[in-house]
């Protein structure tokens, strides 16, 4: 351990020296001069203009093409909306009764996992109906049900191509890395430019955003198929196509289904945010209420979104984990009990809808609302907590945040480059150092250095707080099996909530500004910190702990001298995830008035400035990828040294 | 007899550019060439014939190249050098299409970890090779059902692999490889992942099937007891080289080197060796005492030979004298003489 100090000094020393000598440095070494700016934005916009205006084939422009493609998506959207809410031919053919959808959700939950999931799924869907969110949620659901299969199919196709052609994978993989770190808003702007502002545009943006995890997991799944199974396929005499269809894809199903789950959840998260470019449904309503500061109603919609997220997540996870089972003997309904019950549900609810319209569409006057209750809470908070909250906010701003921001803005870019470069070099020579310096160079030359520093300050403050919350909670949770399980369940659940939801409570407490934004980030980004700490501490091999106990360690010594050091690489991976989450949130938080990169993207969205939106988005992505590269590499090196993983 | 598979000077080298490495060393790189080169010689200059209807067992320690050799024979792995004749035809010249045909009709393979398709029932796993060939659904399911019955899994045909025990899963693997009635049957450590008791049961099952089917078999194991029970001939591999090929008794009585001797050390020699393996052939002692049979295990006759004053006469099943067996022969056979090989 003693040898760690000279290395740390070597890594941090030059950077610290540059910060101290800031005033002696030439100006260009502190803030990148304006003349260095590379006109990335103008270049991209030139391409965008070309694609918008210049006819490529006959008098068809690229934009005409994208609009035509977008037109196709209206088809399934209309179909699903017809089935779920609006019916067809002006109501001559009715939509499915709400009772049927509730019943089918319950049967499906029962089939996939058992009565608990059945209650959860049925209950959540029932909530949507009873609390008057039926129409909005079914619009959102139909967008998800259209976007998810399309995104899944594209992702699957790309994944297969990548596995079959090495060259393609070499291009695709880094692209996926960038796409998965690009903020939501960066997807919205090009879609708005090329397709317009509408529900279908929102759906298309959702497809684009949700596709990368599917491609990634398809690649991982296909690569992970055991070589013996592939050989068994070859020995059976499979052609290449048969191999793919009958052997590789089915054998990779578990991993691919994890991808399906992720696609569905990403779709829901994005379709809420896509309301900025006209997606209808719950997200649109939420946005509207938030903008008019009707917090109570916003909360109610938030709860509906959360219930929908939990239902979709649990059902698709159960679907992923579902293993095939042999059929039971006997009559048809005995061999297929679930199909039988589904048929019964359909028959009974159809009959009921025939008898009473209440079973088909719940009339408005019968729905409940919780908005007054939430409004009451909001009022109470405003009246009773106004002073303490204000005091807290101002104190934090004046004493911590503003000094920290000033400090960050004072750091010369050269110092950052030296620090990042030397850590990268130490971890993996040019292999790591060059990419991270490349990321940094882009941020520096893009003309958004100052904004990036503000983003970096907000993210690092939030990450510090997250670590401060996550570590103790993780340590607490790791002490007992039941605590770990509980925390795991809570983390899983909170993580399924679309990130936009987290803005609602902070607006309620802090209105707008840096403190509100940072609070939202902290709530959202603490999840991985807690989760990885718990997992890391709990996965320390049992025999090592037994050895420590027999050597006479006290529980405290075991924690700090055995478990902590061994779990530390895993905890750092948690910190890495926390940074990623924080970056996503900090951009969304631009909605409540921050002054960093998020604000720039937000403005780009207002002005439909695709170039700017993309360049700022890449800045965010590259900040994240820099941290990601360094931390994952460090964790891998450290795990190898410790002989774990 | 014409060999079914004939493998002549086959090499398999793993590394960045194995072909180039192989040719720069004149097609026969020595052990020195590999040291520090980053290339791994998985199979070196292997020459072996597999005759129709025989069980050839390939043995060796972990990493000695058994799996690689067998995968070269089925061309799942492309050999770096040498030639392989299958029914007299050059296997390495077969086009991908011909290879698919060969594998669809002539070859079957059983894998160590079963390699069943998790999403298919037992019946559909077994029918899979037929499905791939395009056999009509009814026909292939009928044939699959026959094979499922043959391996004793009747009643389990609609189960999924994960609902079966290890032994049952390997029965499915065996059934699948037999569904197309292959001529040649490759088995790569089929029973290594099973418990000892189940393993014995599966060996019996395997012998029962072979008595019915008379396939040409290449069987990999690293368990010498298993090899003795099953093999007509055994090939022993060490670091990619086939060190010796022969019947079990031959390996025990005349090991080619220390490596083979080490393998055969723990063998119960009295049960493996027969009188014929150790007798002095051609000798014709007095016809005094009752003779012993040539194909009897030593274990059964040792007591009599050791008690007898003089060597005993050895006869074949027709009572014709073959030679004589003395006390010294029995003692030498049972207690391997290692004084000469230090
Ligand atoms: N794809 C590969 N790439 C590089 N080396 C390989 C590859 N496959 C096998 N080898 C090496 O070739 C040698 C022989 O491997 P092989 O699997 O044939 O051994 P084996 O006798 O079947 O061993 P086991 O009893 O463990 O199955 C080993 O040293 C192995 O590491
Ligand atoms: Mg092997």
DSSP letters, B309-330, are SSPEEEE-TT--EEEEE-HHHH
Claim to verify: residue B120 and residue B201 sit in the same structural domain = yes
Atom of ligand 1 at shortest range from CA of B60: 21
| Fold entry, domain A387-413+448-645 | MetI-like fold (1.10.3720)
Q: Which of B113, B119, B186 sits opposite A253 (nearest CB)?
A: B119
Residue B306 sits in the same domain as residue B163: no
Q: State whether the beta carbon of B65 lies less than 6 angstroms from ligand 1.
A: yes
CB A189 within 8 A of CB A608: yes
Answer whether residue B341 shows pLDDT above 70: no
Please indicate whether, in this complex, the C-beta atoms of A237 and B101 are within 8 angstroms of each other.
yes
Hey, which of B44, B46, B68 would you mutate to test ligand 1's pocket, going by the most ligand atoms within 8 Å of its Cβ? Answer: B68
In angstroms, rounded to a whole number, what is the distance separating the alpha carbons of residues B41 and B239? 8
Same domain, B182 and B292: no
How would residue A1 be classed by pLDDT, with cut points 50, 70 and 90? very low
Mutation choice for A interface testing from B71, B112, B128 by most A CBs within 10 A: B128
Surface-to-core class of residue B286, CB atoms within 10 Å of its CB (0-12 exposed, 13-18 middle, 19+ buried): exposed
Distance from the B216 Cα atom to the nearest Cα atom in chain A, whole angstroms: 16
| Domain of residue B291, residue span | 270-335
Considering chain A, what percentage of its residues have pLDDT values greater than 70? Answer: 99
pLDDT classification of B55: cutoffs 50, 70, 90: very high
Residue by residue, DSSP assigns A18-50 as HHHTGGGS-HHHHS--GGG---HHHHHHHHHHH
Q: Please state, in angstroms and rounded to a whole number, the distance separating the CA atoms of residues B80 and A585.
A: 55
Q: Is residue B38 part of a domain?
A: no
DSSP character at residue B65:
S
As a whole number, the mean pLDDT across chain A is 89
Cβ–Cβ below 8 Å for A235 and B133: no
Q: What is the DSSP letter of B274?
A: B
Q: Considering chain B, what percentage of its residues have pLDDT values greater than 70? A: 97
Ligand nearest to the CA of B111: 2
Residues B225 and B116 in one domain: yes
* Residue A40 CA, distance from chain mean position: 27
The residue behind tokens 């609602």 is: A504
End-to-end CA distance of chain A: 22
In a domain? residue B33? no
Ligand 1: nearest atom to the Cα of B222:
25
B109 SS3 class: strand
Q: Is residue A170 scored above 50 in pLDDT?
A: yes
The residue among A260, A285, A258, A68 whose CA lies nearest residue A145 is: A260
CA–CA distance, A339 with A528 (Å, rounded to integer): 39
Phi, psi of B88 (to 5 degrees): 80, -5
Nearest CA in chain A to B126: A236
For the CA atoms of A252, A258, A260, A266, the dihedral, rounded to the nearest 10 degrees, stands at -150
Quote the percentage of chain A above a pLDDT of 90. Answer: 47
For residues B275 and B141, state if they share a domain. no
B327 and B191 within one domain: no
The band of A552, judged by pLDDT with boundaries at 50, 70 and 90, is confident
What is the pLDDT at residue B336? 67
Instruction: Look at residues B245, B263, B281 and tell me which one is the last residue of a structural domain.
Output: B263
For residue B69, pLDDT beyond 90? yes
Return the closest-CA partner of residue B225 out of B207, B248, B257.
Answer: B248
Q: A36: pLDDT confidence band, cut at 50, 70 and 90?
A: confident
Nearest CA to A235 out of B151, B86, B172, B76 is that of B76
B287-324 core/surface letters (b: 16 or more CB in 10 A; e: else):
eebebbbbeebbeebbeebeebeebbbbbeeeeebbbb
Q: Which residues of A touch B119 (CB under 8 A)?
A: 250-251, 253, 324
- Rounded CA separation B283/B223 (Å): 37
Spell out the residues 6+ positions from residue A458 whose beta carbon is closer than 8 angstroms to its own.
Answer: A514, A517, A518, A521, A582, A586, A594, A596
Question: Which residue's alpha carbon is at the smallest distance from atom 17 of ligand 1?
Answer: B67
**CA-nearest residue of chain B to A230?**
B115
CA dihedral sign of residues A128, A133, A135, A138:
negative
Q: Which residues of B185-223 are buried (b: 16+ CB within 10 A; e: fewer)?
A: bbbbbbbebbeeebbeebbebbeebbeeeebbbbbbbbb
- Cα-based torsion angle of the residue sequence B150, B152, B154, B158 in order, rounded to the nearest 10 degrees: -100
Q: Could you give the CA distance from residue A518 to residue B88 in angstroms, rounded to a whole number?
A: 76
pLDDT of residue A91 exceeding 80:
no
What value, to the nearest 5°, has the Cα angle with vertex A360 and ends A357 and A362?
85
| CB B42 near ligand 1, within 6 Å | yes
- Which of A211-225, A285-299, A328-342, A374-388 has the least mean pLDDT? A328-342
Q: Of A21-25, A214-218, A552-556, which one has max mean pLDDT?
A: A214-218
Intrachain domains A136-280 and A387-413+448-645 with the same fold: yes
Q: pLDDT per residue over B136-157, tens digit each?
A: 999 999 999 999 998 888 889 9
Residues B55 and B179 occupy one common structural domain: yes
List the end-to-end C-alpha distance of chain B, in Å, as a whole number: 40
Question: Does B191 lie in the same domain as B131?
Answer: yes
Cα–Cα distance, B269 to B250 (Å, whole number): 11
Helix (H) or strand (E) holding B142: helix B137-150
Which pLDDT score, from 0 to 100, does residue A3 have?
Answer: 64
Q: For an interface test with A, give the residue of B68, B94, B100 to mutate (most A CBs within 10 A).
A: B100
Q: What is the Cα–Cα distance from A304 to A124, expressed in whole angstroms? A: 8
pLDDT over threshold 70, residue A200? yes
pLDDT digits (tens, 9 = 90+) for B169-207: 999 999 999 898 899 999 999 988 888 888 888 899 889
pLDDT score at A179: 92
| B330 and B336 Cβ atoms separated by less than 8 Å | no
Q: Which ligand is nearest to the CA of B187?
A: 2
Rounded mean pLDDT of B38-46?
Answer: 92
Record: contact B128-A246, CB cut-off 8 A: yes
Query: Which residue among B114, B133, B162 sits closest to A237, beta carbon to beta carbon?
Result: B133
| Test site for ligand 1: of B13, B14, B223, B263, most ligand atoms within 8 A of the Cβ | B14
**φ/ψ (deg, to 5) at B14:** -100, 145
Domain annotation covers residue B3: no
The reply to whether B103 falls in a domain is yes
Tell whether B237 and B282 lie within a shared domain: no
Alpha carbon distances (Å) from A432 to A438, A568, A585:
10, 21, 27
Same-domain check for residues B239 and B293: no
Q: Which pLDDT does position A321 carry in this prediction?
A: 86
The owner of tokens 């020459």 is B47
pLDDT tens-digit map of A464-482: 999 999 999 999 998 888 9
Where in chain A are the domains? 77-130+336-367, 136-280, 387-413+448-645
Q: Are residues B186 and B323 in the same domain?
A: no
Instruction: Report the DSSP beta bridge partners of residue B7.
Output: B48, B84
Task: Identify the band that residue B340 occupies on the pLDDT scale cut at 50, 70 and 90.
Answer: very low
Structure tokens given for A480? 């007992």
Flag whether pLDDT at B287 surpasses 70.
Answer: no
| Banded pLDDT at B338 (limits 50, 70, 90) | low
Domain count, chain B: 2
Are B275 and B255 contained in the same domain?
Answer: no
DSSP state letter for B297: B
> Has residue B142 been placed in a domain?
yes
Pairs of residues, one from chain A and one from chain B, whose beta carbons lie less than 8 Å apart:
78
d(CA A152, CA A273): 20
Please name which of B161, B100, B163, B101 lies closest in space to residue B126, comparing C-alpha atoms: B161
ipTM of this complex prediction, to 2 decimal places: 0.88
Structure confidence at residue B342 (pLDDT): 36
Inter-chain residue contact B117 with A323, CB threshold 8 Å:
no
The pLDDT-based confidence of B312 (bands split at 50, 70, 90) is confident
Q: Which of B201, B231, B263 is the last residue of a domain?
A: B263
Contact (CB<8Å) A235/B103: yes
Residue B339 pLDDT = 52
Closest C-alpha to B305, from B330, B282, B284 = B330
Q: What is the CATH number of the domain that holds B173?
A: 3.40.50.300
Long-range contacts: A31-35, Cβ < 8 Å, 24+? A31/A412, A31/A413, A31/A449, A31/A450, A32/A413, A32/A444, A32/A445, A32/A449, A34/A447
Do A235 and B74 count as a contact with CB atoms less than 8 A apart?
A: yes
**Residue B211 included in any domain:** yes
Classified by CATH at the fold level, domain A136-280 comes out as MetI-like fold (1.10.3720)
- Domain CATH for B328: 3.10.580.10
Number of H helices, E strands in chain A: 31, 2
Compute the distance between CA of residue A227 and CA of residue B316 in angstroms, rounded to an integer.
50
Which of B112, B119, B120, B122 is the mutation pick for testing A, counting most A CBs within 10 A? B119
Ligand 1 center to B63 CA (angstroms): 5
Q: What pTM, to 2 d.p., does this model score?
A: 0.87
Q: What are the residue ranges of helices labelled H in A224-294?
A: 227-235, 240-242, 249-251, 253-273, 282-291
User: What are A443's two structure tokens?
Assistant: 């941020």
Q: How confident is the model at residue A153 (pLDDT cuts 50, 70, 90)?
A: very high
- Nearest CA to A236 out of B72, B105, B5 is that of B105
Contacts of A342 (CB under 8 A, 6+ apart): A104, A107, A108
How long is chain A? 645
Two structure tokens written together for A626: 């820099």
Q: Among candidates A299, A310, A311, A305, which has minimal Cα distance to A503?
A: A299
Highest mean pLDDT among A521-530, A595-604, B252-261: A521-530
Q: Measured between beta carbons, which residues in chain A are less than 8 angstroms from residue B176?
A: 232, 236
Lowest mean pLDDT among A115-129, A348-362, A447-461: A348-362
What are the DSSP calls for A402-414, one per residue?
Answer: HHHHHHHHHS-HH
Note the pLDDT of residue A562. 87
pLDDT-derived band at B337, boundaries 50, 70, 90 = low
Whether B298 maps to a domain, the answer reads yes
Cα of A516 to ligand 2 centre, how many Å?
A: 61
B88 in any annotated domain: no
Last residue of a domain, one of B224, B247, B263: B263
Give the pLDDT of residue A212. Answer: 94
- Could you tell me the two tokens for A611? 């170039």
Please write the tens of the pLDDT for every residue from B99-122.
999 999 999 999 989 999 999 999
């Amino acid at each position: 351990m003693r040898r760690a100090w000279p290395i740390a000094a070597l890594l941090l020393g030059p950077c610290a020296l540059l910060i101290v000598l800031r005033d002696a440095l030439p100006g260009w070494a502190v803030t990148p001069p304006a003349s260095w700016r590379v006109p990335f934005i103008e270049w991209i916009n030139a391409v965008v203009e070309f694609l918008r205006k210049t006819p490529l084939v006959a008098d068809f422009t690229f934009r005409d093409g994208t609009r035509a493609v977008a037109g196709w998506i209206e088809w399934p959207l209309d179909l699903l909306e017809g089935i779920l809410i609006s019916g067809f031919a002006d109501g001559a053919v009715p939509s499915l009764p709400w009772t049927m959808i509730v019943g089918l959700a319950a049967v499906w939950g029962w089939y996939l996992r058992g009565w608990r999931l059945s209650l959860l799924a049925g209950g959540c869907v029932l909530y949507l109906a009873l609390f008057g969110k039926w129409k909005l949620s079914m619009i959102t659901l139909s967008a998800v049900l259209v976007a998810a299969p399309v995104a899944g199919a594209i992702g699957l196709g790309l994944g297969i191509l990548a596995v079959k052609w090495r060259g393609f994978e070499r291009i695709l993989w880094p692209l996926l890395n960038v796409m998965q770190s690009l903020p939501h808003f960066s997807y919205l702007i090009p879609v708005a430019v090329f397709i317009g502002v509408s529900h279908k545009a929102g759906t298309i943006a959702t497809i684009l955003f949700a596709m990368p995890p599917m491609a990634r997991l398809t690649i991982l799944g296909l690569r992970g198929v055991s070589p013996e199974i592939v050989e068994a396929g070859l020995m059976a005499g499979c052609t290449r196509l048969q191999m793919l269809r009958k052997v590789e894809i089915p054998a990779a199903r578990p991993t691919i289904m994890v991808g399906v789950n992720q696609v569905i959840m990403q779709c829901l998260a994005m379709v809420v945010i896509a309301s900025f470019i006209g997606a209808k449904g719950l997200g649109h309503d939420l946005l509207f209420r938030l903008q008019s500061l009707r917090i109570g109603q916003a909360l109610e919609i938030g709860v509906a979104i959360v219930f929908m997220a939990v239902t979709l997540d649990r059902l698709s996870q159960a679907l992923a984990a579902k293993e095939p089972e042999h059929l039971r003997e006997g009559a048809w309904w005995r061999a297929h009990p679930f199909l039988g019950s589904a048929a019964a549900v359909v028959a009974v609810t159809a009959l009921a809808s025939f008898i009473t319209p209440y079973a088909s569409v719940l009339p408005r006057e019968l729905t409940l609302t919780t908005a007054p209750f939430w409004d009451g809470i909001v009022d109470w908070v405003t009246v009773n907590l106004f002073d303490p909250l204000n005091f807290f906010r101002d104190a934090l701003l004046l004493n911590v945040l503003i000094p920290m921001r000033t400090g960050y803005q004072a750091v010369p870019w050269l110092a950052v480059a030296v620090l990042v470069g030397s850590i990268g070099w130490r971890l993996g020579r040019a292999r790591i150092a060059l990419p991270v310096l490349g990321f940094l160079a882009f941020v520096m030359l893009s003309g958004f250095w100052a904004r990036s520093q503000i983003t970096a300050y907000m993210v690092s403050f939030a990450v510090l707080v997250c670590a401060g919350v996550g570590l103790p909670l993780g340590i607490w949770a790791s002490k007992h099996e039941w605590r770990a399980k509980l925390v795991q369940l809570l983390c899983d659940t909170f993580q399924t909530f679309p990130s936009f939801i987290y803005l609602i409570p902070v607006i309620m407490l802090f209105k707008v500004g840096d403190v509100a934004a940072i609070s939202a980030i902290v709530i959202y980004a603490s999840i991985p910190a807690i989760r990885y700490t718990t997992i890391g501490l709990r996965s320390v091999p049992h025999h090592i702990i037994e050895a420590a106990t027999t050597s006479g360690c006290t529980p405290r010594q075991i924690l700090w001298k055995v478990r902590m050091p061994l779990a530390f690489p895993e905890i750092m991976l948690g910190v890495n995830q926390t940074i990623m989450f924080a970056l996503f949130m900090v951009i969304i938080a631009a909605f409540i008035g921050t002054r960093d990169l998020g604000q720039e993207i937000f403005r780009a969205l207002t002005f439909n400035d695709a170039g700017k939106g993309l360049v700022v988005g890449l800045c965010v992505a590259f900040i994240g990828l820099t941290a990601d590269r360094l931390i994952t590499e460090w964790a891998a090196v450290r795990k190898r040294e410790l002989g774990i993983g | 007899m014409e060999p079914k598979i004939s493998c002549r000077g086959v090499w398999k080298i793993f590394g960045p550019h194995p072909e180039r490495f192989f040719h720069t060393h004149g097609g026969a790189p020595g052990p020195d060439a590999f040291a520090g080169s980053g290339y791994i010689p998985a199979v070196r200059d292997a020459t072996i014939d597999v005759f129709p209807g025989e069980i050839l067992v390939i043995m060796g320690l972990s990493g000695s190249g058994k799996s690689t050799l067998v995968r070269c024979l089925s061309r799942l792995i492309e050999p770096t050098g040498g030639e392989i004749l299958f029914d007299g035809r050059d296997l390495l010249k077969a086009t991908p299409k011909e290879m698919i045909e060969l594998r669809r009709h002539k070859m079957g393979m059983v894998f160590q970890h079963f390699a069943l398709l998790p999403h298919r029932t037992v019946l559909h796993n077994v029918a899979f090779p037929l499905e791939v060939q395009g056999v009509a659904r009814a026909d292939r399911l009928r044939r699959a059902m026959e094979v499922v019955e043959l391996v004793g899994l009747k009643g389990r045909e609609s189960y999924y692999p994960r609902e079966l025990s290890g032994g049952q899963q390997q029965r499915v693997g065996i059934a699948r490889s037999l569904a197309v009635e292959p001529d040649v049957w490759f088995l790569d450590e089929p029973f290594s992942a099973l418990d000892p008791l189940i393993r014995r049961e599966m060996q019996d099952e395997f012998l029962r099937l072979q008595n019915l089917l008379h396939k040409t078999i290449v069987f990999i194991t690293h368990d010498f007891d298993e090899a003795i029970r099953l093999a007509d001939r055994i090939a022993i591999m060490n670091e990619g080289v086939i060190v010796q090929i022969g019947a079990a008794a031959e390996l025990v009585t005349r090991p080619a080197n220390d490596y083979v001797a080490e393998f055969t050390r723990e063998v119960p020699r009295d049960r493996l060796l027969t009188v014929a393996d150790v007798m002095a052939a051609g000798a014709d002692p007095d016809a005094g005492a009752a003779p012993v049979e040539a194909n009897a295990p030593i274990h059964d006759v040792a007591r009599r030979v050791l008690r007898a004053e003089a060597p005993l006469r050895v006869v074949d099943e027709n009572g014709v004298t073959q030679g004589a067996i003395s006390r010294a022969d029995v003692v030498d056979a049972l207690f391997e003489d290692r004084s000469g090989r230090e």
